Structure 1
């Protein structure tokens, strides 16, 4: 276990955590302000990745694919909110879970009908395809560094949006005290639609960034949706700051654990334990982290309700 390996895994965890933040930011705002459990959030991530891959393949440009996919996914999010999800706001959580889970299943089958069951190929731009030497003897993929830069830039823009704009003030007010925000004249329909558009666009950004690293395939949204829910529970429902910190914690713990735990088990208990018990223990680390955080902070690290 060398310092180079640890540094590489920390960068991988940072990159993965920032992409989780893009997914969790929209999800935590929808959950915190609208009090709505949206299981279809992962489907927007999947659809965004498919649209970006398709437009990039047709145009021959990753950048055109990314821009077109973000705009198209945001439009799909608005259409979904106006036509279907708006009817679920006043329902209980069970109805919301069932309704959005049905949307998730229909989205999977719709993607399979349009694009087929085979994964799509999404290649990074040529300028970012190679490695970059960060330290003597340590090279790191340029595209992963680009993902880290995009994640940090989006986090900064969201911070400025939430803390320095009128819309952000309404979002924070809705997350802290929804009834008071309504009484003060907040345009609820417009705010909800804008939040869904923003959340869908962030899903598409995450899909475009992770698409070249992971497979663009049917059902890719389910596993990452579970991690996004873990993030918002750790960070605090309705809190952007909590979503960022929770995503970074989950990203680093999950990525580093899957590499370092098997190595540690191999040194302490031999190769058999490393191949069998190591991955199993690594896969539950984020849930152990969530349980520990909730034991000390039942409302999460930075709950919107203070």
Structure 2
């Protein structure tokens, strides 16, 4: 029989994996098709969190808050694509990293000026409070909602990529963007659409994460690092790879943080185990990435097989 604690932690891992998938799916397409490294993608996640929290506090409508977060992040992404990304497409990745790193710093300072340097309060909607029984273990309704949203987005992404003309162009662009342009497709419009889609998904992730995480300046950097690990492990340009890698990485991190301290406590002092356990759990993620790069350099699921 699976213990209630293990099941709860497993569901926490799935919920974190959903947030990582929402953030990394857009990022992997932007990197895979546009060959553009966007370190400001975590800032779009932060924009979604702040706009979602502020919209909910002002209106009391969670649906409105989610819509506002997606739209605002998408529009900011479109603006970034036009003003920053487009002029840098033809340049080396170093220029892209420096430019988007500067944008990341700008957005962090803008958040401090606008909302202050303290965590901004984001409440869980009253209708989504409480818990339900999942295989005998109580689990928060709101976290179940996050998982359900992730499933719907994953199905929607699969349909968009596999069953529509837009998805056909995306798949072709991931393999050979120059050939797609030569064949008459509007690559500029495709890039704008992808940037907006990726930014909107990042905003959705931020809005959903706001009520359970701390909404504050700089909140996008830690999750951006995990998202970059996800796209490397899953395969750059692969939506399915991003989903698989996000779930694997999130579950390893969550279960590692939950159980490694108690396991290490049998070998060392409890205070040392509590410090080493979470660090070791984080280390396991990068060990996994190193193994994937060593044995499957194109990722678990390459763009050609997504």
Which segment is superposed worse, 105-114 or 36-45?
Answer: 105-114
> Residue 276 of structure 2 corresponds to which residue in structure 1?
277
> Residue 160 of structure 2 corresponds to which residue in structure 1?
161
C-alpha distance in structure 1 between counterparts of 2:218 and 2:28, whole Å: 21
C-alpha distance in structure 2 between counterparts of 1:156 and 1:46, whole Å: 25
- Give runs of aligned pairs for residues 217-256 of structure 1, distance below 5 A: 217-256=216-255
- Give runs of aligned pairs for residues 1-306 of structure 1, distance below 5 A: 3-136=3-136, 138-305=137-304
Structure 1: tracts of 5 or more residues without a match: none
Number of residue-to-residue matches in the alignment: 305
Which segment is superposed worse, 123-132 or 18-27?
Answer: 123-132
The CA RMSD over aligned residues, in Å, is: 1.4
C-alpha distance in structure 2 between counterparts of 1:189 and 1:179, whole Å: 12
C-alpha distance in structure 1 between counterparts of 2:146 and 2:275, whole Å: 32
Per-residue CA shift, 1:46-66, capped at 9, x if unaligned? 011111111111112222111
Structure 2: tracts of 5 or more residues without a match: none
Q: Secondary structure at the match of 1:133?
A: strand
TM-score (norm 2): 0.96
C-alpha distance in structure 1 between counterparts of 2:144 and 2:255, whole Å: 17
Q: Secondary structure at the match of 2:266?
A: helix
> Do the aligned partners of residues 276 and 76 (structure 1) sit closer, same or farther apart at CA in structure 2, a change above 3 Å counting?
closer
C-alpha distance in structure 2 between counterparts of 1:276 and 1:130, whole Å: 31
TM-score (norm 1): 0.96
